[in-house]
C-alpha cells in the first residue's frame, strides 16, 4: 500500500503541472492570436496604412491600450475621410471611439453593435447620414454624439 501512494502522488503532481502549463500555453496562444486579429482590424480600417502588423499597435497614434488590448481610439480632427469601415466592430474591448471633426461620410457600420463595452461614441462633425439598429446592442454606451 505504501508503494502505491509513493508513486501515485508524484504522478498526480506531474499530471497537474502539465495540465496547468498547457492551459497557460493555450491562453497565451489565443491572446497572441487576438492581438494579431486586432492589429489586422486596425490596419484594414485604412486609418493606419503606414503601419504593419509587426509593430505594436498600442503605440500607434490615437490608440490607447490596456494589457495590450485596444480600449480607446481617439482620432478626432485627424483629417480622416471616406466611410467608417466595418472592421472597427472587431475591437470588442473598445470603450471609447472618437472620430469627431473629420470628413467621414456614409453610415455607421452595423458592426459597431459588436462593441458592447463601448461607453463613448463621438462621430460628430462628419457627414454621417444613417445610424444602424445594431447600436441598441451597445449596452454600456453612455455618450453618443453625432451632431453636425
Closest CA to 123 of 136, 109, 134: 109
Provide the pLDDT confidence category of residue 35 given band limits of 50, 70 and 90.
low
Mean pLDDT of the region 56-64:
88
pLDDT reading at 101 higher than 80: yes
**Domain ranges (residues) in the chain:** 34-145
Q: What percent of the chain has pLDDT over 90?
A: 45
User: Is pLDDT larger for residue 143 or for residue 35?
Assistant: 143
Enter the pTM of the model: 0.72
The pLDDT-based confidence of 117 (bands split at 50, 70, 90) is very high
Q: Which residue in the block uniquely carries the three cell numbers 469627431?
A: 100
Report pLDDT for 23. Answer: 39
DSSP secondary structure string for all residues of 49-71: TT--TTS-GGGSTTEEEETTEEE
Q: What's the rounded Cα separation, in Å, for the pair 118 and 138? A: 7
Cell numbers representing residue 101 in the block: 471633426
Higher-pLDDT residue of 96 and 4 is: 96
- What is the pLDDT confidence band of residue 34, given thresholds at 50, 70 and 90? low
The architecture in CATH of the region 34-145 reads Alpha-Beta Horseshoe (3.80)
Amino acid at each position: 500500500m505504501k508503494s502505491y501512494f509513493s508513486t501515485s502522488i508524484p504522478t498526480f503532481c506531474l499530471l497537474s503541472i502539465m495540465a496547468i502549463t498547457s492551459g497557460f500555453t493555450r491562453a497565451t496562444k489565443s491572446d497572441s492570436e487576438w492581438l494579431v486579429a486586432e492589429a489586422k482590424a486596425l490596419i484594414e480600417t485604412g486609418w493606419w496604412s503606414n503601419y504593419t502588423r509587426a509593430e505594436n499597435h498600442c503605440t500607434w497614434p490615437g490608440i490607447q491600450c490596456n494589457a495590450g488590448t485596444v480600449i480607446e481610439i481617439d482620432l478626432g480632427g485627424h483629417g480622416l475621410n471616406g466611410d467608417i469601415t466595418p472592421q472597427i466592430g472587431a475591437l470588442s474591448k473598445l470603450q471609447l471611439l472618437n472620430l469627431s471633426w473629420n470628413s467621414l461620410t456614409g453610415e455607421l457600420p452595423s458592426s459597431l453593435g459588436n462593441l458592447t463595452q463601448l461607453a463613448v461614441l463621438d462621430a460628430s462633425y462628419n457627414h454621417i447620414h444613417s445610424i444602424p439598429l445594431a447600436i441598441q446592442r451597445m449596452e454600456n454606451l453612455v455618450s453618443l454624439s453625432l451632431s453636425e
